[in-house]
Structure 1
Amino acid sequence: MKHPMNRRRAMLAAAAVSLSVAVGAAGCSGKAAEGGGSGDVKAGPGVTKDKITLSALTDLTGPYAALGKGVTQAQKLYYDQLNAAGGVCGRKIELVVRDHGYDVQKALAAYSEVGPRSAAIPQVIGSPITIALRQRLENDHLLTIPQAWSHTLLGSKYVQLTGTTYDLDIINGVDFLMRAKGVKKGDKVGHLYLEGDYGLSALAGAKYAAGKAGLTLVEQQVKATDADMTAQAGAFKKAGVKAILVSVSPKQAASLVGVAAASGLNVPYAASNSAFAQQLLATQVGGIMQKDYYVATAGPPFSSGTPALQKLAGEYQMAYKGEPLDSAVYSGYVTAAIVGEALKKACQSKDLTRDGIVAAHRSNARFDLGFGAATMDFTQWNRPSARGSFIVKPDKASQGGTKLVEPSKESELAKGYNPPAG
């Protein structure tokens, strides 16, 4: 998943986990309301005189369990830090976590439980989950940050996509293949993509890029339950593709790369951010993925070495010894901070109602934590908050499992592109 799609396979036990965390980073000061809407700060659902409740609807036992674990732990770290510094408006943050296992019905049931008592939702894993919840989120005026990057999620005041969408990443990835890996006009390029919004969003970008660049796109769609990519690799080889775009889960990507190499199909890959996990480097295909597999992503790798990223790396490794330090950690921390900053701004406006939190968030045109990523603009919800992709490459020796190949930029190929209406 940009979306998402930026991850350890270990699963957190329990299908319903509740994490109460105390938060710290400079929360805004101010007299706490006495509960409800009393006091000098207006309060809405999820806000009491001493607590702000947030909820995360994550995947801890399904295909994106590694992502869910890293994101959730990084969000807990951020809110732990925010609480340690006094919280927001004299209130501590409670993060309530529910595991949906990438099952829409479980996610809907979880939302019915935790949604009514939440001030915001800093994590929803999965485009299909977010789409199923979207109308309820809008009706409830609940600021929500999905760990998904399908362009079809654009257009809602209450749903904030971070960074680039899947289609933009793929366009930037195709541009990289043509500039750096020898792909040229007239070539055939394969695209392995997942059915549903993640894959179809990436496919929209692939079709646009192929049309603009004079490439022939060879499509192979798979289901989330498909595990063996032998048939798809065979179809790509038969077609004579010169490169392959990848927009599936990490395990499916590993299967594709492994069987393609075994069949003698050795071509460069450009993948969506959700089509790689650091844990793949410890598998049999890890060595192969380090050769010619590239990931287009809005988030910088930890190995890029910015001071702010190094600080986060140290804090996370101290809090979660032995856990992978990958793009899930970066994404989780950033999305937690987005909600944290909205809460602090809402506090300054003395309005911690849901509408007050959304208004505070949407007033931020230059969100930047100093990690080296493109500044995000949250004032418009009909377009991606950023357009530049990093190109990174799996690398076992690098911190976080990837190394920087190219810094974040919007490619020439992407400059004329606008995501189609969802």
Structure 2
Amino acid sequence: MTARTRPTRTLTVTAVAALLALTAACSNKAEDGGGDEKQSAGGIKTGQGISGKTIDLGVLTDMTGVYATLGKSVTQAQQLYVKQVNADGGICGYQLKLTVRDHGYDPQKAVAGYTELSPKVLGFTQFIGSPFVAAVEKRIDTDKALVLPQAWSSNLLGSPYVRIIGSTYDIETINAIDFLMKEKGLKKGDKLGHVYFEGDYGESALKGSKFMAKEAGLTVVEQKIKPTDNDMTAQVAALKKAGVDAIVISAGPRQAASLVGVAAAAKLMVPVIGNNSAYSPQLLGTQAAPALLANYYVASPSLPIGADTPEAKKLVDDYKKAYPEDGLDNGVVAGWTAAGVFGEALKKACESKDLTRESVDKALLSLNGYDMGFGVDQNFTDPKAPSSYKSVILQPDKAAVGGLKVLQQPVEAAQAKTYAQSAG
């Protein structure tokens, strides 16, 4: 399977399938995909999610589960964006409103949250969790409500209504392994460990490592885990016994900290690189900090929050003023970028005097070369492709804003191009 293939999926969380059957009847209003179209006094065509002079946008986040830190940052960044846009007069004369639901990375809550909000909102600026987005993807296609997920599974490609911002996990993993080979001594004939979450996220990343292994002459040693697995002792023991020369981790921050810390204690001194979801700066306050600083790297779809750009510096200042009690991390970048992309689509739809769901979706598909100031141009014109094939390589750093410094500017590995071209 390739980066642009949209496969048939078997959901790994059985509760999702059961809940879909129970809740499908609750979403009849949304399923017409259009309903309630009307004309405003200013000649703007509107529909679902717009009432009076307000555009309601949905947020399905994780404030209490495995990605609680990320979810909080993403959500607050989007709330900051909405506050600033509204203070400047809104978009097309309308004020933006975010309706937030915390699913706690629970499949039942995630699907129930979508069922509740889909009939009420114009679209979603956030939906954390690749498996949960996948669970309702067919309904999203019917509802035609634009979703910008904080999820990077290649399995989500293909829908004009679910648009990933940045490189997908498979592409990101290829770029990460390319870094290990060029900068950290990994070479043909070596063994590459890969610790990954079961489900769409981990399996998407694994596709990238398997492709890269075939291209570069590596052997992949797999270790599949669950989001509830926080102690990586058994995985480290298995990888050490296998004699791996480097490790990729496609999991959450807790799992990454445990893996790197346990590996250091076990004298498994090999470089470890994580996908963008496998780090938070809070880890630098844990016992794993010395090991993370010495031997951990992160692949990211964009420059970090501490980037040396005018847009990043302004966002840092604005976020600190709005949330002085909270730290900065790359969730701020992800949230701000997604809100900005949705806002840009709204502005383009406004130019056509049409703020219906279909018009906003069409407007997003016209965006090419869009950058919120974090170093990577995004192209949304092809639903079968990610908006970018580039990754930035980062390293934990206590002195850096957001706890990450840039080791390698945005780059697309030659193998990533081959992977994409193999789609035909």
Q: TM-score, normalised by structure 2?
A: 0.89
Identify if the C-alpha distance between structure 1 residues 154 and 419 changes in structure 2 by more than 3 Å, giving closer, same or farther. Answer: farther
2:71 to 68, 72, 79: 68
Could you say what secondary structure the match of 1:330 adopts?
Answer: helix
Match of 1:281 in 2: 284
Among residues 130, 142, 151, which one is paired with 2:145 in the alignment? Answer: 142
CA deviation after TM superposition for structure 1 residue 105, in Å: 1.3
Among 140, 144, 158, the alignment partner of 1:155 is 158
Q: In structure 2, how many angstroms separate the alpha carbons of the residues matched to 1:114 and 1:208?
A: 38
Note the 1:155-194 alignment, pairs <5 A.
155-194=158-197
Q: Deviations over 1:16-59 (max 9, x none)?
A: xxxxxxxxxxxxxxxxxxx9334300001011231100010111
Q: Give 1:305 deviation, angstroms.
A: 1.2
> One-letter code of the match for 1:359?
K
Q: Counterpart of 1:412 in structure 2: which amino acid?
A: A
2:199 to 177, 196, 200: 196
1:92 is matched with 95
Pick from 399, 402, 413: which aligns with 2:401? 399
Task: Describe the SS at the equivalent of 1:408.
Answer: strand
Deviation at 1:161, TM superposition (A): 0.2
8 Å contact kept, 1:46–1:117: yes
Superposed CA deviations along residues 73-118 of structure 1, whole A, max 9, x for unmatched, are 0000001010000001211111000011111211121122211010
User: Runs of 4+ in structure 1 displaced over 6 angstroms?
Assistant: none
Deviation of residue 419 (structure 1)? 8.8
How many residues are treated as equivalent by the alignment?
Answer: 386
2:239 equivalent to 1:245: no
Residue 115 of structure 2 aligns with an amino acid whose one-letter code is: S
Greater shift in the superposed pair: 361-370 or 220-229: 361-370
5 Å matches for 1:196-275? 196-275=199-278
Q: What are the Cα deviations for residues 328-362 of structure 1, in whole angstroms up to 9, with x where unaligned? A: 00000000011111111111110011101111111
Instruction: Please give the per-residue CA displacement for 1:139-159, whole angstroms capped at 9, x wherever unaligned.
Output: 111000000000000000100
Task: Say which of 376, 379, 395 aligns to 1:377.
Answer: 379
Which residue of 391, 415, 418 maps to 1:416? 418
> Quick one: distance in 2 between partners of 1:85 and 1:348?
18
Measured in 1, the distance between the counterparts of 2:155 and 2:422 equals 8
My pick for the range that moved more, 236-245 or 106-115, is 106-115
Output aligned runs, 1:18-97, within 5 Å: 36-39=38-41, 40-97=43-100
Identity %: 51
Contact 1:58 1:68 in 2 (8 A): yes
Distance in 2, Cα, partners of 1:420 & 1:69: 38
Structure 2 residues not aligned, in runs of 5+? 1-36
Given the two structures, how large is their TM-score scaled by the length of structure 1?
A: 0.90
SS in 2 for 1:325: coil
Of 350, 357, 362, 1:359 maps to 362
Structure 2: how far apart are the matches of 1:381 and 1:152? 12
Distance (whole Å) between structure 2 residues aligned to residue 300 and residue 134 of structure 1: 29
SS at match of 2:239: helix
Q: Hey, what does 1:314 align to over in structure 2?
A: 317
User: Deviation of residue 392 (structure 1)?
Assistant: 0.2
Distance in 2 separating the partners of 1:250 and 1:382:
29
Matching of residue 118 in structure 1 with residue 118 in structure 2: no
Separation in 2, partners of 1:133, 1:56: 15
> What value does the CA root-mean-square deviation take over the aligned residues?
1.3
Per-residue Cα deviation, 1:206-237 (whole angstroms, up to 9, x for no partner):
00011111011111000111121111000111
Distance 1:290 1:384, change over 3 A: same
2:174 is paired with a residue of what secondary structure? Answer: helix
Distance (Å, rounded) in 1 between the aligned partners of 2:104 and 2:213 = 35
User: 2: distance between equivalents of 1:130 and 1:209?
Assistant: 27
Distance of 1:368 and 1:404 partners within structure 2 = 18
CA–CA distance in structure 2, aligned partners of residues 362 and 257 of structure 1: 40
Structure 1 Cα separation of the partners of residues 155 and 39 of structure 2 = 36
3-state secondary structure, aligned to 1:366: strand
Match of 1:299 in 2: 302
